[in-house]
Structure 1
């Protein structure tokens, strides 16, 4: 796949050397292509119907519920189990053994026998097993302070404090949403030919979307049991300001490195969308006004973005300045004339920070659903197709690829301790990916192959003295330790955005950049890093609920223009 083959009209895609740097990827924002938004557009356009088939929850908040979405061909049911969890057992760690709620997404309509089987397994999570009729397995814990505040207010007939709602943003946070065969669930291959799951992570996004509805129903149910006739539900406008939280750490960080073809397809779709918009010769008045509206909403969204992490605090402050500058530039006539979007983006390259540039990329897509909304269907990948090594490739061709696609890695002095300060490994105790200090901890022997830059440089060094006509199949018979990186190099030659062009084991690597990039494609916003290794996010905040899909216009729900809710 060559960049000029992807380029629409007159505007080339941004080169990998620009896009695939961790600092820029760690500045990505959600967009029309993000998986949450892809899901909700489909649910609405195809008129999916919501049904609460069961809600067998007692006054203590213990029991089960079944929430079903009926589509044109198939139905999917969230089976939720609510538990009475003692505070001392509440933990966000992957290795926890108890949760406030556990879930599975069932393929179809579960029978009573299915519910009984799931009740014996889903609450156990890793200690249980599900079957191919289950598509995902998940669990969540309460945000105790806000959950108790909301429950207390509703039971007394009062609305929760909007300031407290906005400060936390969710009543529960998921600690895992497993799919793709985890714990016995259905493999991705068994459902990928269904149109509703053609885009990536749609089963997982549907799971979280239904979990959000269940959690709000649960707190209102508990308030009704506590307060009786005094109790009230959450005001609909305030209700939509609750999302589902998530704490994401190093466990997710290796994903983009381990799925290079998938990463390429995500980035290529995003870059194609940007190039299509930049290639538009003029802006219609309605599109210009739509952009201005989303710019205002985006500014309000940023004003509500808070973090205590010093790096993110600085980026938010810089982004606010960027938006002031962008707004002034737009009002000065930047959207008038030939190729206005292209000119606006080129101006941003020097006028705005990376955060500002990447937010502009997302905002530019907003008026142009008809132009870009087909692209998520290209974002999945059959990664087995790239696994086979082309053994007939010559050493001469391999050198050319390394010199072109890995020039950034060949320019690093890998002998410097700072260049290999870190090592990725899997903790035996926690069963989670970890990033250790190579020169201070005995972790090198357990290192995972997550340093493609270094390994590419080692492969290049190994090619010295090899005949140009030598086949890589013969090379690997003598040097099998280079098999994994040679495969990556061949993948990168066919997929320009497959490789992150930065050192992933250097002293200055920030794993939160990897997390931010992936989560932006999910549709998360308001990233709140708690260190350089884990981040809190909020999912589906301000979105409609399942029962509201038919009535509410929500194209711009991520940047909402909600009325103020009286306190």
Structure 2
């Protein structure tokens, strides 16, 4: 798929050398294309029905619950297990062995025998085993201060402190949501032909959506246990202010490098959506008003975004300035000219920071569901189809691809220690990706192939002694060590957004940029880096709960409603 084939309108898609830089990818925001929002649009449009089939939780908060969504053809059930976890065992680290709650998404309606089997395995997570009847496996821990505060307040007949709710934003944090065959669960291939799972990560998003409902029910149940007749439930608007937190670290970072075709499809969909909007010849008054409304709501969202990380806190401050400048520009009549969105984006390229530009990309797509909402169905990928190496390609053609698509890598001095300061490897303790220091830690021997820029430069150097007419297959017979990067180069030639155009082992690489790029496509917001290697986020904050799907308006639920805007 060539770049010019992707462009749907008069406005060309942004070039990969612009989009596929870590600083920009680390500034992406959620949008209409984000997988949480794709899920909820489908659940509403198809009138999915929610049922709480079981809630057998005792006075200590221990037991199980079953939450089911019934769709047009199938039903899916979250089986939740609540545990009495000692404080000293509570940890967000992936190496934890016990959690406050554990979950699985079951394909259909679980029987008593299923629940008994799952109760012996799901609480163990990696130490247990599930079957192809389970689509995901997950776990979560309490945000103890927030959880206890809400239980205590509700038990006394009072609502929790709104400022604290807004500052924390969740009662529990997930530390993993595993799918795609992990721990014996169903492989992606077994469910990808189902319409509800055609877009990426829909089973995982459904899991988190149902977990959120269970957590809020659990906290209200424990308030009743503690307060008896005095206890109350959360006021509905305040209840929706709670999302599900998530702590994500280096384990997720290599995903975008390891799935180049999938990454291309995600970015291509986003860039196609942007180009479609920029190609709109004139904005209607309703479209302009929708954008202005969401801009106001977006400004409030940024006002509520808190982070102690120095880089992110600086970006938030800059973003507030950006949005004030954007608002002034829009109120000055910027949207009444021909091709207003194209003009607005071109203005932003010089007037706003990268973070501000990427938030504008998301905001511009909001009024245009009719132009955008078909694109998520194009975001999945059959990566096996791109695995085969084109052995008949000539060395001359391969060189030209490298010179065009990897010029950024060929210009790096790979002999510099700063250029190869980091090493990606897999920890023996938990079989999770880690990032070590190449020159001060004994990890180079265990390096994973996650430095495509360096490897492309090595391939290019090896090709210098080859005749132009030499076939790739013959070259690889003599140099099989280049097989992995040669395959990747050929993939990048067919998929323009497949490669991140930055050095992923440089001394100054920020893995949180990789994390944020992926999480923005999930639909996460309020990114809060805790270091350069892990981040906390919030998922489904302000979203309706499963029992509210039918009556709630979805436009812009990821932005807090203002008094003049209906929820």
Query: TM-score normalized by structure 2?
Result: 0.99
**Structural RMSD (CA):** 0.8
* Secondary structure of 1:282 counterpart: coil
Match for residue 182 of structure 1? 182
Residue deviations 1:269-326, cap 9 Å, x none? 0000000000010001100000000000000000000000000011000000000100
- Whether 2:75 is the aligned partner of 1:59: answer no
CA distance in 2, matches of 1:56, 1:318: 48
Match for residue 164 of structure 2? 164
CA distance in 2, matches of 1:30, 1:110: 34
Match for residue 88 of structure 1? 88
Residue deviations 1:65-90, cap 9 Å, x none? 00000000000000000000000111
How far 1:199 sits from its partner (Å)?
0.3
CA distance in 2, matches of 1:325, 1:167: 26
* Secondary structure of 1:61 counterpart: coil
Residue deviations 1:208-232, cap 9 Å, x none? 0000000000000011111111000
Matches within 5 A, 1:182-201: 182-201=182-201
CA contact (8 A) 2:297 2:562 kept: no
What stretches of structure 1 of length at least 5 have no aligned partner? none
CA contact (8 A) 1:212 1:243 kept: yes
Match for residue 342 of structure 1? 342
Say if 1:430 and 1:184 are closer, same or farther in 2 by CA, change over 3 A.
Answer: closer
* Secondary structure of 2:121 counterpart: helix
CA distance in 2, matches of 1:39, 1:562: 24
How far 1:430 sits from its partner (Å)?
3.5
- Whether 2:452 is the aligned partner of 1:443: answer no
* Secondary structure of 2:172 counterpart: strand
CA distance in 2, matches of 1:429, 1:258: 21
Match for residue 74 of structure 2? 74
How far 1:481 sits from its partner (Å)?
0.3
- Whether 2:129 is the aligned partner of 1:125: answer no
CA contact (8 A) 2:137 2:177 kept: yes
* Secondary structure of 2:33 counterpart: coil
CA contact (8 A) 1:74 1:108 kept: yes
CA distance in 2, matches of 1:336, 1:232: 50
CA distance in 2, matches of 1:407, 1:61: 58
* Secondary structure of 1:33 counterpart: coil
Match for residue 318 of structure 2? 318
Matches within 5 A, 1:165-244: 165-244=165-244
What stretches of structure 2 of length at least 5 have no aligned partner? none
Deviates more, 1:427-436 or 1:194-203: 427-436
* Secondary structure of 1:113 counterpart: helix
How far 1:563 sits from its partner (Å)?
5.3
Matches within 5 A, 1:426-505: 426-505=426-505
Match for residue 262 of structure 1? 262
Match for residue 401 of structure 2? 401
How far 1:562 sits from its partner (Å)?
5.1
CA distance in 2, matches of 1:92, 1:12: 43
- Whether 2:18 is the aligned partner of 1:28: answer no
* Secondary structure of 1:32 counterpart: coil
Query: TM-score normalized by structure 1?
Result: 0.99
CA distance in 2, matches of 1:97, 1:7: 48
CA distance in 1, matches of 2:325, 2:89: 49
Residue deviations 1:211-260, cap 9 Å, x none? 00000000000111111110000010000000000000000000000000
How far 1:427 sits from its partner (Å)?
1.2
CA contact (8 A) 1:35 1:205 kept: yes
CA distance in 1, matches of 2:56, 2:150: 21
Deviates more, 1:89-98 or 1:517-526: 89-98
Residue deviations 1:426-448, cap 9 Å, x none? 11124321111111111110000
Residue deviations 1:31-74, cap 9 Å, x none? 00000000000000000000000000001000000000000000
- Whether 2:379 is the aligned partner of 1:359: answer no
CA distance in 1, matches of 2:521, 2:328: 29
CA distance in 1, matches of 2:19, 2:316: 20
Match for residue 417 of structure 1? 417
CA contact (8 A) 1:237 1:562 kept: no
